[in-house]
Chain A
């Protein structure tokens, strides 16, 4: 594995998006992973529609039929991959633009599918495996506890105490070998995470969190997706 890796340097990551005042983080995590996978499959970076997921994805937990993806009220990336697999794929952002509300009817047009899911998998809770899957398969959909993100401005977040109760969906796009952590007086490796709160949040829309201890549950729910070429 390389010491440092960042899919932004390889053209697999679209610009930072903004979910607005809507609990649709899960849809941005899903599209980000499929955008990267589609780039690897086709060579084209295409921004995909979160609004399609918000409006049309009501995939439910197979064991709890009343727990379903539900637009601004929340969802889960793996359920969204399952929807995308079943529905045929996702449209382009420009063909189904984001509104940040979930009161609209589903306007999915099968004739305008831009990316298709071939398959998706969950990655084991092992940071080397997460890094290997990131490098091999593209950006990964991950869940995290976001309590420290409300006040985050920059640097590498490495809280001494952080709940592992997952409440936010984001996109893992890379990692770095070392960023100086003054309190620990040593270099600390970190993950690079794309968020969906606009470019004015964090480090130009990105969050850095230290690697090595499943901090804030970042290793707990990691998904990789593969795309089918539609061209």
Chain B
């Protein structure tokens, strides 16, 4: 059933970066396309191999996201060689320790009928 759900939303044309049931089998091919598309170059073979392992983990993650979020398309993005922790550190940045001031002005309630 999961595969059936995925087939309903994934573009099977050129892939467009979306994941499908074959993505993990062809992970090295997808990684080659990913590196070319996003201009990724790694300094050493060790770094390359590590990033490939992260990439494969993110393919599995994208499949999980696809199952949990079937109305969207999930797959390979520019962040596919980053661990979730690296992604959060480098590309997010909402400081949760900062809070709204207790005296923050609240927007007046607006009419929403008509």
A: which residues have CB within 8 A of B? 1, 19, 21-26, 60-64, 67-70, 72-76, 78-79, 82, 119-124, 128-129, 131-133, 136, 143, 146-148, 150-161, 165-169, 179-184, 188, 197-198, 200-201, 208, 210, 221, 224
Q: Nearest Cβ in chain B — how far from A210, in angstroms?
A: 7
Interface residues on B, range: 35 or more
Q: Is chain B's binding surface mostly helix, strand, loop or mixed?
A: loop
Q: Which of A124, A188, A200 contacts B109 (CB 8 A)?
A: A124
Q: Is chain A's binding surface mostly helix, strand, loop or mixed?
A: mixed
Residue of B16, B102, B106, B109 most packed against chain A (CB within 10 A): B109
Query: Chain B contacts of A24 at CB under 8 A?
Result: 93
Query: Does the CB pair A179–B106 fall under 8 Å?
Result: no
B89 contacts the other chain (CB 8 A):
yes
Query: Does the CB pair B94–A167 fall under 8 Å?
Result: yes
Q: Which of A67, A132, A160 contacts B110 (CB 8 A)?
A: A132
Query: Does the CB pair B95–A155 fall under 8 Å?
Result: no
Query: Does the CB pair B91–A200 fall under 8 Å?
Result: no
Chain B 36-53: CB-based contact to A (< 8 A → 1; otherwise 0): 000000000000000000
Query: Does the CB pair B68–A160 fall under 8 Å?
Result: yes
3 closest residue pairs by CB, A with B: A23-B93, A74-B95, A121-B107
